[in-house]
Every structure is written in C-alpha cells, then in structure tokens.
Amino acid sequence: MEYENLHLKYKQPTIKGRYLNLGMITPILNAMNTNNQLQILGNSVQGRPIYKYEIGHGATKILMWSQMHGNESTTTKGLLDFMNMLQDASEITTKILQQYTFCIVPMLNPDGAEVYTRVNANEVDLNRDFQNLSQAESQLLMQCYRDFKPNFCFNLHDQRTIFGVGTTGKPATVSFLAPSYDETKAYDAARLSAVDVIMKMVNVLQRFIPGQIGRFDDGFNINCVGDTFQALKTPTILIEAGHFPEDYEREITRKYIFIALISAVYSDSEEALLKDELSNYRSIPQNIPNFFDLIYKNVAINYDNSINMTNFAIQYREELINATIIFNAYITKIGELDGFYGHQEFDCEGMQYSDNNCNFPKLDDKADFSLNNKVKFVNGLVKK
C-alpha cells in the first residue's frame, strides 16, 4: 500500500500547525456530514458542542477520541485525515467499512483547545477524571462508551519533545501503550488484543521511522480513561504523537498518525500476526525524558573572574499569541548533560558566553545570548 500517497490524497488542506480549535474543524465536520453521520454528544463546560461522527456498518466497533488535552492537536489532524479517507468510496475504504463501525470524537476538550491548555475550563485534567466523572466532557465520553459498546478504544494524544526512544538517541516520534487494567500490570485477553493492534501499527511504521517508536509507561492509574476502559475489559490503545526532527508544527508526525490508523484496521498483506507479539511489544524501548530542544556544549563562562567550562540546554515553551503558537526558548538545565540529547546540538568550542544581564546562563532566562561577543543567538538559534 502506498501509505504516503494516500496521505497526500486525503490530507485536510485547511488545517495545519499546532493550534487547532473547534471553529477550525467545524466546517470540515459539516462537510463530512453527508448522511447524518455527525451528531452533538453534548456541550463542554463553556457550552461548546462536542461532536461525534459515526460511519461504517461492520461488526467490530471502534471508539476513537482526540484532544481531550486541548493543546494536543497532532492526532486530531491525523484523525481528520483518516475520516476524510473514510468518506471516499475506494476499494480500501469499502473493505474497512464492511468490517468496522467507527464512533469518533475528534475534539473532546474544545474549551482547552480554544486557549491551548491541557486542562478544561474548570482546570481539570480530563485524563484524570474517569472515576470521579466530575466534568461534562468526561461524562459525555463515558456515556458514549456505554451507549456505543465498542470492541476497541483508541485514545489519541500528543507527547512533548522531551521523550526519546530509550537510550538510543532517537526521538519518540510515535509511542504506543496497551494500558494496564490493575496494579499487577498483567496481560489479560483484552490487553493482549490491544497489543496485537499496536503491533500491526508498529510493523508498518517501522518502514518509515525505524527506531523512532516508543512504548509509553504502563504505570496503573484507574483515574485515567485508558486504564478505566481496559479495566472494563475493552481493549484500549493509547497513541502518542511525538517529535520528528525539525517538525515542530508536527505535520510529518501527523502523516504517521494517519498511517498508524489505517494499518490498525487494514492490512495490505495476508500475513498473520506473529504468535509472540507480546514479546515484540515489550521489546519496544520505553519512552525516556532524555531530550532537550537545544543543547550547547563546551561553553566558557566568566564567573568571579575565573573562566570555567559548562554546558546548558534549552526547552521551548509553546505560547499562544494571536491564534498562533510561538516557540519561545528558555534555559532549562545548566551543567552536566551526560545521558541527554538535543534535537539540535552546538559545540561552542570554548567560546565565552555573555548576555545583556551577565556573563553566565541562568535557569528560566530567555535564550538570547552571544558567544565571544561575536556570534549572536536569538531565541536559542544563531541570528543570521
């Protein structure tokens, strides 16, 4: 299957970048509503509609939701591209819709999406609310789950640029998890079914991003939606969209989310799953927070009239300004950086640090500085 060509064909052209709110996706959803597939589940805390989209007539029912954290939009983009494909009367789509029925909630937290925050309007993390069910959005997803009675659930998220694939030095571009259903982290039939689906996706994605697939931590928390649904014996798959080199807008990662979703429900080969997929799943390196956005090594600093050598790292903060996400660079760590990697790294070769305030980097300072009063860095990068 020509996965990348499929994405070029079905990519929604009106959405891109990191900021995605309800107003941007509503026209897309309305255009897809060709046969009453689109319904309003209910409303968010601030009264925004939360939509569900149902399509297909197959016996296997899949519930998918995205952007329960309002600042995690990559999987929403990939999901909308996938939904666009499901609209087409192609041979692939016909087969998928004969086998599956989808119930898709593309934006569970429209209030958080509006202001680009993880939490909802009541400052509650919806992914920690599935025992209390204190929030309108959590209640709506749980009611949808009970009414639809899915055979599988797909829980779609973004993860930060800090995550690498184990200690390989490669970023975790896409990560997966079959959540635990209790503290033992054992594998029952439902969790093994989730593993099988994950391995279908992993086996395809390894063709495109070899070594850039991680396994999310499976620490049990019954308050999380995935753990709750897994405990209710519904195979649940967590997908985390992460960083691809230089892809801060996550348009490349978006493509891999689209490919993952197709490969979960359609195979272009007749090969059966391997018998020991659990072993293969557990061999996927776990995510480790061992990346910074930028690292500077071998920097000279003048401290108390003495020249010392150090290293420092910066992390971008994503800040919503005029409906655009701005990546502002701040100094995050100073000193020993063994075991850490940078998405970009600079060997400063003993050049001396200075900024407008002092002669050494400080935590939480904006990353605007000079080396040898000659090479100027603005927002962490060399000013050209």
In the chain, domain spans: 3-287, 291-382
Closest by CA position to 170, among listed 212, 208, 210: 212
Element at 154 (helix H, strand E)? strand 152-158
**Structure confidence by residue, pLDDT tens digits, 288-300:** 999 999 999 999 9
Residues with Cβ within 8 Å of 261's Cβ and at least 6 positions away in sequence, in order, are: 78, 79, 82, 154
Three-state DSSP state, 27: helix
Task: State which fold the 3-287 domain adopts.
Answer: Aminopeptidase (3.40.630)
- Structure tokens of 322? 């005029």
CA distance 84 to 64: 15
pTM over the 0.85 mark: yes
Q: What number of CA atoms fall less than 13 Å from residue 192's CA on the CB side?
A: 11
Task: Count other Cβ atoms within 10 Å, centred on residue 143.
Answer: 13
**Structure confidence by residue, pLDDT tens digits, 337-381:** 999 999 999 999 999 999 998 889 999 999 999 999 999 999 999
- Structure tokens of 379? 């927002």
Task: Count other Cβ atoms within 10 Å, centred on residue 305.
Answer: 5
- Residue 86 CA to its chain's centroid (Å): 22
- Structure tokens of 341? 């990697």
CA distance 48 to 68: 14
**Structure confidence by residue, pLDDT tens digits, 110-149:** 999 999 999 999 999 999 999 999 999 999 999 999 999 9
Which percentage of the chain shows pLDDT scores above 90?
Answer: 95
Task: State which fold the 291-382 domain adopts.
Answer: Urease, subunit C; domain 1 (2.30.40)
